[in-house]
Amino acid sequence: MSRIAYVDGAYVAHAAAAVHIEDRGNQFADAVYEVWSVKDGALMDSDGHFTRLSRSLRELRIREPMDRRVLACVLFEMVRRNRLRDGLIYLQISRGRARRDHAFPSPEVKPTVIVTAKRGDPAAAEAKAQAGIRVITLPDLRWARRDIKTVSLLPNALAKQAAKEAGAQEAWLVGADGFITEGTASNAWILTADGALVTRMASEAILNGVTRLALLQVAREEGLRIEERPFTVAEAMAASEAFVTSASSALTAVVSIDGQKIGAGAPGPLAKRLRHAYLAGAASNVAAQKPRPSAPLVARRARARIG
């Protein structure tokens, strides 16, 4: 984990980072979050994550704690202080600290902002992509507004644990209508036998992944036939390929579902091609997303002090 965390304007030792016991993120899961993948010291798909963060805050009526440019500088400062070349940056914004009451507190209550950093292992990630992952299916027990990236993730955690205990790496969640919604921490994709690339359309039923949106653009540029629609477990098992997308995994092939091999039981040619194209495109944008020299100054102007 990171050596340094950010909590409400202060860069502090990770071991000492804390929020008040009556923070609404702690007591009501009244908070949203975003996760940026960091590659070569830059935030991947940066604008997409900031846009989704703003939408999540609006949907929950949590005010933005600072200007986007200032927040970006805080994130880059976290990358710098933690000497993070490859890994993840986690941001969480809660409605803030207030006396425990289900109703919203006064609008004057300041949102709580925390940021942590986590180092990645590119070699391990590539090995995982080369091997593919196993998936199980489980009922989708989450609330109806999955399009908002909230910290209320207990059903996701329970499903992920069930997958781990079954020897799998992810669970695909299935609605009462029999259609797959998404994974516990990823969007779900299949390639049908007749060559259609299928992923569920964006709606309140799924989180519209930033990596999902980027990959849709890559797929269009590759000239693929794309169908944004629901698909069943049976259709997924009959697919020639399947994969997941997320900020932490980019694109990773699914080699089995509920113990049944998908395709040849190994990452297929389309998954490999799209992963390569996505990562190549992201790498070409890395330099443009690195902070300007003024970033530390702007971060200081956000009243961030050294812990």
Catalytic residues: 149
Q: How far is CA 37 from CA 29, 171, 284, in A?
A: 23, 21, 15
Q: Are strands 241-246 and 225-228 parallel, antiparallel or unpaired?
A: unpaired
The torsion region of residue 96 among left (phi > 0), alpha (psi -120 to 50) and beta comes to left
CB 190 within 8 A of CB 156: no
Q: Residue 266 in 3-state DSSP?
A: coil
Q: Residue 43 in 3-state DSSP?
A: strand
Q: How far is CA 249 from CA 78, 180, 243, 305, in A?
A: 21, 20, 11, 33
Amino acid at 153: L
CB 129 within 8 A of CB 250: yes
CB 31 within 8 A of CB 151: yes
CB 214 within 8 A of CB 48: yes
Backbone angles phi, psi at 204, to 5 degrees: -70, -10
HSE, CB side, 13 Å, CA atoms: give it for residue 164. Answer: 7
